[in-house]
Amino acid sequence: MAGIVIDGLSMVYTLPGGGDVHALNDVSLDIKQGEIVTVLGPSGCGKTTLLNIIAGFLSPTEGEIRLGDKPVTGPGAERGMVFQQGALFEWLTVEKNVAFGPRMAGKPAAETAEKVEYLLDIVGLQGFGEKPVYQLSGGMQQRVALARCLANDPDVILMDEPLGALDALTREKMQGLVLKLWKETGKTILLITHSVEEALILGERLIVMAPRPGRIEKEFRLPFPDEALVKPAREVKAGAQFVETREEILSMIWDMEEEIMGQSDEPQV
């Protein structure tokens, strides 16, 4: 188990017609083992690029990612990933989706079956093991995605807007599940979201990113995830501090969006 060190990360895309886009500019962040960190920002702030670099799908122009003291050079099983949608294997049943990682690693089938059953129980899908995943609702599919990721026992879980495609009510329920899994497994979690409320309720630390060039604008340390574990999330979300922080962040992002709209569409050179 280890935390993630993001060290001086820059990402420059060169456009086909000439000119560069700075998707990330000198981003550094130190995520400790067992922390749950949320990243928030307007579109184009480079948050998905950041996650893809940590996952090892992209190689940065400058800087590096370290897991413990090992530099990241490609994707690996110690960094699990939960996507927004459509990343389940629709040709497999629920339990075979969850068992995918251990099966690829050649773990004994009996041991894996036991683990799968345990995980399906935790995410609230007991009895759904033999269903094809396409018969499940969007919320249930994301439960499968969470279980599939946990089955591999990764050190770090990266989540790319995992609840973004769900309806509002399902989304709140799933936020509770993410918190519960974090508490019970002690995994390091980095979650990207568009929703300010979600970033607040799920982030011990909340990183606000700004666009053009993509950079870290501000960081908050928040008590809300711990509070939401002991009392109803709705109550936490209605609290004075929560509302105040939410408004502060919203106006911050609002200003960024205004600024972008004011600029020309020309990429920065």
Specify the residue, 145 or 253, whose C-beta has the smaller distance to other proteins: 145
Instruction: Report the nearest approach of other proteins to the CB of residue 133 (Å).
Output: 8
| CB-neighbour burial class of residue 232 (10 A; exposed 0-12, middle 13-18, buried 19+) | exposed
Q: Which of 65, 40, 44, 38 is nearest to 54 (CA)?
A: 65
**Is residue 251 within 8 Å of 259, Cβ to Cβ?**
no
- Contact residue for other proteins among 13, 57, 118, 254 (CB under 8 A): 57
Q: Which of residues 199-218 bind other proteins (CB under 8 A)?
A: none
Distances in Å between the alpha carbon of 102 and those of 77, 78, 151, 153, 176? Answer: 10, 12, 7, 9, 26
For other proteins, the closer of residues 58 and 260 by Cβ is 58
Q: Does 132 bind other proteins (CB under 8 A)?
A: yes
Helix or strand holding residue 191 (H, E): strand 188-193
The size of the interface with other proteins (CB under 8 A), counted in residues, is 30
Among 8, 28, 73, 104, binds other proteins (CB under 8 A): 104
Spatial separation of the C-alpha atoms in residues 228 and 38, rounded to whole Å: 15
Residue 132 Cβ, how far from other proteins at the closest point, in Å? Answer: 6
Taking the complex as a whole, how short is the minimal distance between the CB of residue 255 and other proteins, in angstroms?
A: 32
- In the complex, the residues that contact other proteins under the rule CB under 8 A are 55-57, 74-77, 79-81, 83-84, 86-92, 100-101, 104-105, 132, 134, 148-149, 152, 154, 158
